[in-house]
Amino acid sequence: MRLLVSPINIEEAKAAMAGGADILDVKNPKEGSLGANFPWVIRSVAGVAAGKLPVSATIGDFDYKPGTASLAALGAAFSGADYIKVGLLKIETQEQARDMLSHIVRSVKEFDAEKKLVAAAYSDHARVGSISPMALPEVAAECGADVVMVDTAIKDGRTTFEFMTESEIIEFISAGHDLGMEVAIAGTIKFKDLELLRRVAPDIIGVRGAVCGGDRSDQIKEELVRRMKADLS
């Protein structure tokens, strides 16, 4: 399992790298669960990574705007992100998801076929009215996405594991793998959740709050990244 840590600036990126993060995921929590940061921040973190680690960038928690999302995805790819991550927040049907993802994938892959597209749904989809994570893998694979992910839309301290059972998470991971994609699990993950994560074994685990000391608005701490990395081993 690879540890994805979500810095908001160069200083946090350096702390995440020093702590042993496997992927740097540039985001802006002020704009939501998968809030987008600025192009120059993505470029600066990519510069810090210097090819030693892949860089991911979130482009937002989207409603049904395929054109807007495609432009944002291309901007993230151009700015240096290796993984471009989109959240399907207000996408209600597989048809809408298909239209969104097919255009986003095209915008990224036509620019650089080596870039990877991450399609994210939300474990707490019922309370925000979005598509279920269980409906995502089939559509994401059909559209050419490389990674499927589950996160929490509302950051109120409740974790993905409060909205999805272990068997559902295993089913989600298996579906992604069966369709040839990698699978990432995030959503207010805490240190106490690592035992469960070791059992279900996704490819990528995404964190921010846990390595900020429990408050995602605080700063990423190198020692907490190192501790989480060690606990995943």
Instruction: Write down the mean pLDDT value for the chain.
Output: 97
Contact 131, 93 (CB under 8 A): yes
The reported pLDDT for the residue numbered 233 is 80
The reported pLDDT for the residue numbered 214 is 82
End-to-end CA distance of the chain: 8
Res. 224: pLDDT tops 90: yes
Q: CA 128, 125, 62: angle at the middle one, nearest 5?
A: 65
Higher pLDDT, 159 or 217: 159
Per-residue pLDDT of 39-69, as tens digits, reads: 999 999 999 999 999 999 999 999 999 999 9
Contact 77, 45 (CB under 8 A): no
The reported pLDDT for the residue numbered 82 is 98
Res. 216: pLDDT tops 90: no
Q: How far is the C-alpha of 29 from the C-alpha of 155, rounded, in Å?
A: 10
Distances (CA, A) of 76 to 33, 112, 152, 174: 17, 12, 22, 29
Where are the chain's structural domains? Answer: 2-232
Find the mean pLDDT for residues 203-208: 97
Res. 217: pLDDT tops 90: no
The reported pLDDT for the residue numbered 215 is 82
Q: Does domain 2-232 have CATH number 3.20.20.110?
A: yes
Distances (CA, A) of 13 to 31, 55, 66, 117, 167: 19, 10, 30, 21, 34
Q: How far is the C-alpha of 26 from the C-alpha of 79, rounded, in Å?
A: 11
Res. 102: pLDDT tops 90: yes
Find the mean pLDDT for residues 142-157: 97
Please compute, for residue 204, the number of CA atoms within 13 A of its CA located in the half-sphere on the CB side: 29
- The DSSP bridge partners found for residue 205 are 3, 185
- Per-residue pLDDT band for 84 (boundaries 50, 70, 90) equals very high
The reported pLDDT for the residue numbered 4 is 98
Per-residue pLDDT of 111-125, as tens digits, reads: 999 999 999 999 999
Indicate which residues carry an active-site annotation.
27, 85
Per-residue pLDDT of 177-189, as tens digits, reads: 999 999 999 999 9
